[in-house]
Amino acid sequence: MATHAALRANKPLVQCLTNVVSSNFMANVLLSAGASPAMVDNPEEAAQFARIAGAVLVNLGTPTAAQVESMRLAVASAHEAGRPWVLDPIGAGGLAWRGSVAAQLLEFKPAVIRGNASEIIGLAGLGSTSRGFDTSNDPAEAVPAAIELLSHASAVSASGPIDHVVGWVANGTDEPRPWLIKIAGGSAWLPRVTASGCSLGALVAAYTAVASDALTAVTAAHVHFALAAELAEATATGPGSFAAAFIDGLDAVDAFLITTKARFEAAPV
Amino acid sequence: MATHAALRANKPLVQCLTNVVSSNFMANVLLSAGASPAMVDNPEEAAQFARIAGAVLVNLGTPTAAQVESMRLAVASAHEAGRPWVLDPIGAGGLAWRGSVAAQLLEFKPAVIRGNASEIIGLAGLGSTSRGFDTSNDPAEAVPAAIELLSHASAVSASGPIDHVVGWVANGTDEPRPWLIKIAGGSAWLPRVTASGCSLGALVAAYTAVASDALTAVTAAHVHFALAAELAEATATGPGSFAAAFIDGLDAVDAFLITTKARFEAAPV
Amino acid sequence: MATHAALRANKPLVQCLTNVVSSNFMANVLLSAGASPAMVDNPEEAAQFARIAGAVLVNLGTPTAAQVESMRLAVASAHEAGRPWVLDPIGAGGLAWRGSVAAQLLEFKPAVIRGNASEIIGLAGLGSTSRGFDTSNDPAEAVPAAIELLSHASAVSASGPIDHVVGWVANGTDEPRPWLIKIAGGSAWLPRVTASGCSLGALVAAYTAVASDALTAVTAAHVHFALAAELAEATATGPGSFAAAFIDGLDAVDAFLITTKARFEAAPV
């Protein structure tokens, strides 16, 4: 709730290096939720811009050679400047080239890795037989893979009917240990709208720019997203009207809704 | 109707190499109709992906040198693997470079060529004086050009107020001969929504992945498209509300609507 | 009003070399308003197409090296053929590479430069400290910078809550002198929809293809845009429903609305 207020107050600038299918919808998701999108993804400017952005999103949906170079420059620059960045490894488990790209990017320590269950499993087991674009896995099945990926990132999210997020939690003087947060809600229409998952990754990036830690950022983003989808479902008559209503919903979600409607549970793994 | 049921049951994976204007809308059209879009169009992955896709769409709307290379790799791979692919030759009759690209792609035998009347005429008469982006021709005028193009493809579609589709039909032991199918319906709002024609091409590709033959695939796709547009027109108040309602309509079209509302006629040419 | 009638009668072909975020929305804005979009932006075809287009839009939102080469070719071709073109210098004041690109493009004399206040200030003072993506400046603050840019263009527009446009006006035998036109209206939802400003630039380009002079074109485009936004605001419940209703509104704006609702004032500077 405090994190949501921080998003609205700060309107963080989010640099998105993303696939062509998602760019318009993603920008509208960020604008409506309360952030400022900027899709600067050429090699000439990517590093310079990453230093002024509040956070960086890297989405591997439709990479080109030039965009991949920009991704490397942007995350190196973000890493150096201490800016959080988020990796959305679409297809990295199933297509050889982007698998190797993802492996290289992981060296620059994303704050968050976000994908659907199959993508998280695919990323953790690069070189395995996963198709990579498959969405048949349940998020709960991805938890071991997500925990494995915590060696690279502060939090890892596998989204689905019930989102499963793992991340490091420091409690007083104890060693940080991984927690699992399960977030319910959303709508069955969401996966019927292209780039909805990609846009969730961008919203996670926006929240990393204002949250106290990565796990809080992911949770706040997923809750915001799920509540907007529930608002939209109440009026939608199909995937097209749902998409427009969902954008309306991202704007409408407020502190009262979050307090009364958010559904999630957290526990140490 | 059986073809529509096959689409819904199989949710074919459609690889789209398409123009930037269309990618988001096209992906939503495919998702809403019941297929699975994947816009993999870089040279590093295009061939690999074409082997696992159910069908491939190639749309020449905004080609880049890298994308054209990907198109060649994807259709060669699809051709070799026996996967159907669809060519949408936007502007190929009017712009020299993409005309030569289209001519090269034709060697890999698309299952279907889909365009508006001027594009079909332009593609058949490469080197002629057609502007290529002109949409002033009536689909009926494109029938001779479409028949000519049957030396390259199993079916050719010229869409417009009444879509005209020609394709090879084998009847028992007779030599296959060309038939003409005319499909009525749709909405005057459709050409006011950008990428609607492009998205029809993608839906045709989706149907080629599940239909018994190319002509059946084209007919089923055009009927599905036209009925969705009629549903949308009933509630739309302009091109923006129409576009959202059309996406809803693609999801809503079912066997009952197809049986009771589809309007088309077929005859040997 | 006469300019609006000319747009509807001529449906000018507008070549857009624009950022990936904007391409779909921009094309729908042009189609709905009454123009014909074509996003031809590869180096192989950009110059050829600029000779048949009614006007050219160049938007620096997400430039790539290849697209920048296309921009140079297109505006050189347009300049030579006497076609008007419009420059939308997104980020040119804040990012070094695109600043130098913008400076080179200015040599080919755009009919109109259109941006938000910060972009106009940034473009006039290339090399200054402006962030370039900042939208905090008020359009009134941009007027001196806009007047300075009249050495490169016939009209310069800084859009915002009240759009401020300057341009050369020739009155009888007097030397042309700059006038300032202020256009009120629009909606607070507009900046919450991504690519709305970019699309205004495209609509300006469409109007330059049919208007008697650049200042008239800009004014007509801004009025058309503002009235469509007002229509949309009456039914919208958030940025998503606003975007769809705004596209409907661009189609609905007619001579009667313009005559009765347009709000602007003009005076010599």
Give the contacts of A145 (CB within 8 A, at least 6 positions apart). A120, A121, A123, A124, A125, A158
Q: From the list B31, B40, B44, which residue is nearest A239 (CB)?
A: B31
Distance CA C269, CA C267 (A): 6
A249 touches chain C (CB under 8 A): yes
Asked whether the predicted pLDDT for residue C212 surpasses 70, the reply is yes
Rounded distance, CA B54 to CA B14, Å? 6
Closest CA–CA distance from residue B97 to any residue of chain C (Å): 7
Q: Copy the structure tokens of residue B235.
A: 């509630």
With a cut of 70, list the residues of chain A below it in pLDDT.
Answer: 1, 126-136
Region of A64 on the Ramachandran plot (φ > 0 left; ψ -120 to 50 alpha; else beta): beta
Mean pLDDT for the stretch of residues B143-162: 96
What's the average model confidence in pLDDT over C166-191?
92
The pLDDT score that the predictor gives to residue A217 is: 98
SS3 A178: strand
Judged by CB atoms closer than 8 Å, whether chains meet at A95 and B66 is answered as no
Please give the pLDDT value at position A135: 60
Write down the mean pLDDT value for chain B.
Answer: 94
Compare all CA atoms of chain B with the CA of A24 and give the residue at the minimum distance.
B24
- Interface residue C178 vs chain A (CB under 8 A): no
C174 has a pLDDT exceeding 90: no
* Average pLDDT value for residue range C132-159: 88
C49 contacts B64? CB cut-off 8 A: no
Q: Can you tell me the distance from the alpha carbon of A92 to that of B105, in angstroms, rounded to the nearest whole number?
A: 29
Answer yes or no: do B44 and A97 touch at CB < 8 A.
yes
Q: Which residue has the tokens 């400022």?
A: A36
* Nearest C-alpha in A relative to B23: A21
- Give the 3-state secondary structure of residue B85: strand
Q: Which residues of A touch B36 (CB under 8 A)?
A: 133
How does residue C130 score in pLDDT terms, banded at 50, 70 and 90?
A: very low
H helical segments located in chain C: 2-10, 23-33, 46-52, 65-81, 96-106, 117-124, 143-149, 196-208, 214-233, 239-252, 255-261
Picking from C26, C30, C42 by the largest number of B CB atoms within 10 A of its own CB, the best residue to mutate is C42
State the DSSP H helix or E strand holding residue A13, giving kind and residue range, or none if neither.
strand A13-17
- Taking the CA of residue B39 and the nearest CA in chain A, the distance in Å comes to 7
**Which residue of A13, A18, A248, A254 is the best one to mutate when testing the C interface, meaning the one whose CB has the most C CBs within 10 A?**
A248
CB contact under 8 A, A243 and C238: no
Residue C231 pLDDT exceeds 60: yes
Residue ranges of B 4-43 with Cβ closer than 8 A to chain C: 19-25
Q: Which residue is associated with the tokens 């973000």?
A: A78
Q: Which residues of chain B make contact with A27, given a CB cutoff of 8 A? A: none
Nearest chain C Cα to B21, which residue? C24
What 3-state DSSP class applies to C16? strand
B61, B133, B239 ranked by CB distance to C251: nearest:
B239
Classify strands B177-183 and B264-268 as parallel, antiparallel or unpaired.
antiparallel
Chains touching B (at least 3 CB pairs under 8 A) are A, C
Q: What is the pTM of this model?
A: 0.96
Question: Is C97 in CB contact (< 8 Å) with chain A?
Answer: yes
From CA B61, how far away is CA A171, in angstroms rounded?
Answer: 55
pLDDT at B219 over 60: yes
Distance CA(B166)–CA(C16), nearest Å, equals 34
Tell me which residue of B12, B202, B182, B226 sits closest to B90, measured CA to CA: B202
Q: Which of C20, C25, C32 to mutate to test the interface with B (most CBs of B within 10 A)?
A: C32
Binary contact (A23, C25; C-beta < 8 A): no
Q: What is the mean pLDDT of residues C107-133?
A: 81
Residue C133 above 90 pLDDT?
no
Report the C-alpha gap between C129 and B250 in whole angstroms.
50
> Which chain B residue has its CA at the smallest distance from C247's CA?
B240
**Which amino acid is present at B132?**
G
**In this complex, which chains have at least 3 CB pairs below 8 Å with chain A?**
B, C
Contacts of A249 in chain C (CB under 8 A): 238, 240
DSSP B197-232: HHHHHHHHHHHHTTSSSHHHHHHHHHHHHHHHHHHH
Contacts of A192 in chain B (CB under 8 A): 31-32, 251
- What average pLDDT does this structure show over B167-182? 90
What average pLDDT does this structure show over C2-24?
A: 97
Most C CBs within 10 Å, among A41, A247, A257, to test the C interface: A247
Query: Judging by DSSP bridges, how do beta strands A13-17 and A55-59 pair with one another?
Result: parallel
Mean pLDDT confidence for C140-144: 94
